[in-house]
């Protein structure tokens, strides 16, 4: 069985002006980010612990489709980061036996020192969801989970956990674009290279 956990969080980079002195501040606020089922349009069902459960068995050589969307249900355009952690409940088993099918178009993927964590950054600002729902919705970059065809009996009846965390910073452009870079450096520990609002690179 496979357990998929979605943790939703966010950080906003805000811009304040006082009447006496011009200054900028980084403010921490909550963001409205939803993960939904792309087929039904409804929120993904969760268990009592807030986890998304996918019950298909982990068959050698098999593949599980993941069809989820991320919605910016807040009031500001945002830059989105997705952090994916994968592991077996038996920590002696290697996560290398699990391959994630990732969407590369529109995403920057940071190389990982191990096979258990992948971090992706969406390169374009994501607008808020409009009434026609033609904006503010992007696909989760994890589109499928594949299992090594050579899985042995030691993997039988084992549980694999995929934890997906989605968070964001406010996308600020124009003369205040530096605020978004400062927020990413403060909250994510990375410095983005941004050209006309589009992230072209990530420097750690």
Distance CA 170, CA 78 (A): 4
- Residue 194, strand partner residues: 199
Alpha carbon distances (Å) from 169 to 14, 110, 112, 180:
9, 18, 22, 7
pLDDT band at 15 (very low <50, low <70, confident <90, very high): very low
pLDDT of residue 161 exceeding 70: yes
Q: What is the pTM of this model?
A: 0.78
14: tokens are: 């805000």
CA–centroid distance for 11 within its chain: 13
DSSP label of 114: S
Distance CA 110, CA 30 (A): 25
Distance CA 53, CA 65 (A): 13
Q: What is the pLDDT of residues 69-110, one digit of tens each?
A: 888 888 888 999 988 888 887 888 888 888 889 999 999 998
Q: Which residue has the higher pLDDT, 93 or 26?
A: 93
Amino acid 50: pLDDT = 47
Considering only 16-25, 41-50, 81-90, 185-194, which range has the smallest mean pLDDT?
A: 16-25
DSSP label of 133: S
Q: What is the pLDDT of residues 31-72, one digit of tens each?
A: 566 767 666 566 655 555 445 555 556 778 888 888 888 888
């Amino acid at each position: 069985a496979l357990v998929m956990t979605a943790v939703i969080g966010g950080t906003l980079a805000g811009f304040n002006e006082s009447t006496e002195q011009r200054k900028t501040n980084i403010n921490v606020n909550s963001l409205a980010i939803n993960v939904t089922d792309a087929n039904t349009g409804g929120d993904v069902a969760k268990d009592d612990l807030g986890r998304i459960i996918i019950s298909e068995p982990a068959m050698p050589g098999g593949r599980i489709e993941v069809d989820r969307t991320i919605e910016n249900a807040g009031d500001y355009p945002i830059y989105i980061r997705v952090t994916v952690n994968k592991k077996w409940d038996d920590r002696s088993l290697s996560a290398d036996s699990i391959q994630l099918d990732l969407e590369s178009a529109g995403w920057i993927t940071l190389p990982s020192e191990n096979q258990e964590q992948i971090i992706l950054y969406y390169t374009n600002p994501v607008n808020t969801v409009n009434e026609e729902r033609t904006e503010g919705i992007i696909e989760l970059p994890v589109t499928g989970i594949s299992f090594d065809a050579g899985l042995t009996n030691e993997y039988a009846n084992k549980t694999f956990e995929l934890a997906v965390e989605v968070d964001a910073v406010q996308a600020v452009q124009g003369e205040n674009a530096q605020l978004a870079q400062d927020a990413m450096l403060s909250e994510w520990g990375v410095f983005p290279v941004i050209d006309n609002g589009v992230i072209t690179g990530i420097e750690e």
